[in-house]
Amino acid sequence: MIEVGHFIGGKRVPGQSGRSQDIMQPMDGSVRGQVALASKEELRAAVENAKAAQIGWAATNPQRRVRVLMKFLDLVHAEYDELAETLAREHGKTIADAKGDIQRGLEVVEVCIGAPHLMKGEFTDGAGPGIDVYSMRQPLGVVAGITPFNFPAMIPLWKIAPALAAGNAFILKPSERDPSVPMRLAELFIEAGLPAGVLNVVNGDKEVVDAILDDPDIHAIGFVGSTPIAQYIYSRATANGKRAQCFGGAKNHMIIMPDADMDQTVDALIGAGYGSAGERCMAISVAVPVGKETADRLLEKLIPRVESLKVGPSTDSSADFGPVVTKDALERIKCYVDIGVKEGAKLVVDGRDFSLQGYENGYYMGGCLFDDVKPDMRIYKEEIFGPVLSVVRATNYEDALSLANDHEMGNGVAIFTRDGDAARDFASRVQVGMVGINVPIPVPIAYYTFGGWKASSFGDLNQHGADAFRFYTKTKTVTSRWPSGVKDGAEFVIPTMN
């Protein structure tokens, strides 16, 4: 049994609140350990450590700050296998998928090594008579991230790396469901040379989340999770004068044109719809074939592939996906399937009764596939976050485009076609933040930004890429004149360049 407390002042510390929660192992339903749930006082101790450490860290030049990131990369690669196994055991995803989780986070760290360039301001020589104007980017101070269970390495690193590279101190509140990897990553940052107190990890539930939102010394908050909670965090954070970027749920469509390569399309749908048991904000959960013939060809090839999906424990290298994260999540997903059947959708593959011999207490569910789903059904409108794919048949291209545009969520979307004109038109007109053309999971590479539209995102700036440095810094503009001995006298009008 493991005991997970907090990481404050450069070291692990036990919880002091007297409250804790079980850490489960989804593949067999066993209790792996206990995680402490922080009080407001413990959060405040982390903030005080961060405030004290941030002053010296901000004064460290950017090149020296990124050397810590470079060393951190080496340390993570040395523990890659151990971190992936820990992540898989606490989350439920396969070890191969866990390695992808870690790697996607490290790619953002790699981009942040360019912080000396990304932090540069601008300079104008001779903006007026003897006047120079220049700008500089400066850190905000203490910032925080509240991150979800489904990517316990990737998303914390998406938040931590640019914040630290920009000179901030960081408070991480990871998911209490799989806390071990974020804690170990914090230790590795210290081993890499990060000063104690610059990065703190506080585990907890809503009590500590609200304390983060209300703390006057935390100046910015990044969040990833469901849309209702994203909206709550954004509203409360901004009401308290904080900068906030909050990313919510998704209902990602894949439009399948009549000319699409159907084998390629089915391969893409299987991986994007059922990988990680569908517990991804970028999972494809809606397939939209255009025309009856396209839909019939799609289902003919798709049904046997869904039926043959291999579900297994996280440690099974041959499994397509593992269990979902908790027993409650499993019951919620099954409930959505029940709702879909009651609403009149055609359940062509039913994975609700899946059971794995030797792992009967694990949180397993086989792949489910619905056909004839209508836009007014709950299984279409709401995010299921499980291994459930819905097929919504579209009469023509315009109908398919309207489905993606009219949905309240706008995280990711894809189109599969061989027609460049259709693809170009789709990319231009679709009202969704991230678009894939023959790419099923259009997660941008790390030096572009990640973010959805509509109810999938709250705030003006996205994650990683240049937006991350804009979010974690404030711009100061200096207008400078060195007197040459000539006195102009007092001026009572606003300065101009005339």
How, if at all, do strands 199-201 and 284-289 pair?
unpaired
d(Cα 434, Cα 411) in Å, to the nearest integer?
6
The closest alpha carbon to 6, from 52, 44, 41, 37, belongs to 37
Residue-level pLDDT at 489: 72
131 strand-pairing partners? 128, 481
The closest alpha carbon to 165, from 232, 286, 65, belongs to 65
Q: What are the residue numbers of the active site?
A: 281
DSSP letter at 143 equals: E
User: Are the CB atoms for 398 and 288 separated by under 8 Å?
Assistant: no
* Side-chain-facing half-sphere of 229: CA atoms under 13 Å: 15
d(Cα 77, Cα 224) in Å, to the nearest integer?
25
Q: Residues with Cβ < 8 Å from 430, sequence gap 6 or more? A: 401, 404, 405, 413
Question: Is residue 125 exposed (0-12), middle (13-18) or buried (19+ Cβ within 10 Å)?
Answer: exposed
d(Cα 37, Cα 89) in Å, to the nearest integer?
21
Cα 95 to chain centroid, rounded: 19
User: Are the CB atoms for 443 and 282 separated by under 8 Å?
Assistant: yes
Neighbours of 476 (CB within 10 A): 11
Neighbours of 431 (CB within 10 A): 13
Neighbours of 443 (CB within 10 A): 16
Residue-level pLDDT at 495: 74
Residue-level pLDDT at 497: 63
The closest alpha carbon to 290, from 337, 345, 253, belongs to 253
Residue-level pLDDT at 402: 98
d(Cα 227, Cα 428) in Å, to the nearest integer?
25
* DSSP-derived 3-state class of residue 450: strand
435 strand-pairing partners? 413
d(Cα 275, Cα 329) in Å, to the nearest integer?
16
SS (H, E, C) 12-79: EECCCCCCEEEEEECCCCEEEEEEECCCHHHHHHHHHHHHHHHHHHHHCCHHHHHHHHHHHHHHHHHC
Q: Going from the N-terminus, what domains does the chain have, and what CATH number goes with each?
A: 2-248+456-478 (3.40.605.10), 252-437 (3.40.309.10)
Q: Residues with Cβ < 8 Å from 177, sequence gap 6 or more? A: 23, 24, 90, 91, 149, 325, 326
Neighbours of 400 (CB within 10 A): 25
Residue-level pLDDT at 494: 82
Please count the residues of the chain. Answer: 498
pLDDT in tens, the chain (498 residues): 999 999 999 999 999 999 999 999 999 999 999 999 999 999 999 999 999 999 999 999 999 999 999 999 999 999 999 999 999 999 999 999 999 999 999 999 999 999 999 999 999 999 988 899 999 999 999 999 999 999 999 999 999 999 999 999 999 999 999 999 999 999 999 999 999 999 999 999 999 999 999 999 999 999 999 999 999 999 999 999 999 999 999 999 999 999 999 999 999 999 999 999 999 999 999 999 999 999 999 999 999 999 999 999 999 999 999 999 999 999 999 999 999 999 999 999 999 999 999 999 999 999 999 999 999 999 999 999 999 999 999 999 999 999 999 999 999 999 999 999 999 999 999 999 999 999 999 999 999 999 999 999 999 999 999 999 999 999 999 999 987 765 667 777 887 766
Q: Which residue has the tokens 């397993």?
A: 364
Residue-level pLDDT at 482: 86
How, if at all, do strands 473-481 and 131-139 pair?
antiparallel
d(Cα 431, Cα 72) in Å, to the nearest integer?
38
The closest alpha carbon to 151, from 471, 443, 468, belongs to 443
d(Cα 293, Cα 2) in Å, to the nearest integer?
55
SS (H, E, C) 68-97: HHHHHHHHHHHCHHHHHHHHHHHHCCCHHH
